[in-house]
Amino acid sequence: MPWQHIQIARFGGPEVLELVTEADLPRPGPGEARIKVLAAGTGFTDTFIRMGRYPDFKGPLPFTPGYELVGVVDALGEGVTAPAVGTMVADLTVVGGYAQYALRPAATLVPVPEGVDPAEAVSLPLAYMTAYQMLTRAARVEPGARILVIGASGSVGTAMLDLARAMGLTAIGTCSAHNMGLVESHGAQAIDYASGDFVAEVRQATAGRGVDAAFDAIGGAHFARSFAALAFGGVLVGYGSQTMATGGEGLIAAGLGLARLKFWTLLSPLFGRRRALWYSITDHRKAHPDQFAADMATLLGWLQQGRIRPVVADRLPLSAAADVHRRIAAGGLGGKVVLLPW
């Protein structure tokens, strides 16, 4: 049976995203399940992978991009007994989501509860899980904590603001001037990062105290500014090197940013017991697959109950993938664009 997917045959701009048709369905191997994809998430990280700048994926070419998917189990490979054919599942794929069918290890699939919209559920595996695990597993924030979300208007940023509301945290978020309304609509205090010194504004907003936790994917020298916004005993979680990805800083500056995180934690008593650490969703899942499954189940449950509300900015066919990547690069989407392959 013919089926379609997006293929990248060389790294480059959005034009390298090509819609191709295959003649026969892929067959699941031992331990695998074939998924009929109902919704594929798109985001900044996909554009980073497309350009060949993502440290954790450099090919081989050609490949199908798409960091996350929700779909229905369609066939099982040898030795797989669960999840059963017909079960709706979600997965963090890193690549492979922009397709009508995908082969996945059955062990990483998380069942999606009844009544959940696949397009909303596909917002969870990357952005919401990153935000949730950074809050609960990395920073381990307590209800009532004050948090600083750098890049609060982005996918991970808005997910974190939504979770902060659900978890009873007070959030301050940095963003562009034109996104301040969006950040405030999530119940957070917005700071325009381009107009002044956000560290001074955070101090002012917290009566000089600073925040209990800060989350920063800008990376490089920016980590030092987020660290300076922490309260006594606070924690900075670094999770990206966005300035390197967009060409604003080089590899050395990004590497120095990572080294700083280790240095601050090593000498924490000299820095008012402030700490800093690095979080990566793929590394964390590799080390703790059980936590990944448990946290996904928690978030899917919250979605079913209406406790969290992911914003789906648009629902488009696979053929729109290149346009979607252009829109992601332009910024200001205010939510996730989801590809619906059928």
Ligand X SMILES: NC(=O)c1ccc[n+]([C@@H]2O[C@H](COP(=O)([O-])OP(=O)(O)OC[C@H]3O[C@@H](n4cnc5c(N)ncnc54)[C@H](OP(=O)(O)O)[C@@H]3O)[C@@H](O)[C@H]2O)c1
* Nearer to ligand X among residue 132 and residue 302 (C-beta): 132
* Nearer to ligand X among residue 82 and residue 287 (C-beta): 287
Binding mask 278-297 for ligand X (x = CB under 6 A): -xxx----------------
For the chain, how far is it from start to end, CA to CA, in angstroms?
14
Binder among 17, 34, 40, 44 for ligand X (CB under 6 A): 44
Alpha helices, DSSP H, located in the chain = 44-50, 118-121, 129-133, 155-167, 180-185, 198-205, 222-228, 242-245, 251-266, 281-287, 289-305, 321-330
- Phi/psi region, residue 79 (left: phi>0; alpha: psi -120 to 50; beta: rest), is left
122 near ligand X, rule: CB under 6 A: no
Q: And the tokens for 92?
A: 């963090």
Q: Are 240 and 218 in contact (CB under 8 A)?
A: yes
218 near ligand X, rule: CB under 6 A: yes
Binder among 8, 32, 35, 43 for ligand X (CB under 6 A): 43
Backbone angles phi, psi at 149, to 5 degrees: -110, 110
Name the DSSP class of 137.
I
240 near ligand X, rule: CB under 6 A: yes
By CB under 6 A, the count of residues binding ligand X is: 29
Q: Which one of 68-76, 238-246, 251-259, 304-312 is the stretch in contact with ligand X (CB under 6 A)?
A: 238-246
193 near ligand X, rule: CB under 6 A: yes
310 near ligand X, rule: CB under 6 A: no
Q: How far apart are CA 26 and CA 3, in angstroms?
A: 9
Residue nearest to ligand X (CB): 154
Which residues of this chain interact with ligand X, rule CB under 6 A?
43-45, 48, 126, 130, 150-151, 153-157, 174-176, 179, 193, 217-218, 239-240, 242, 245, 279-281, 331-332
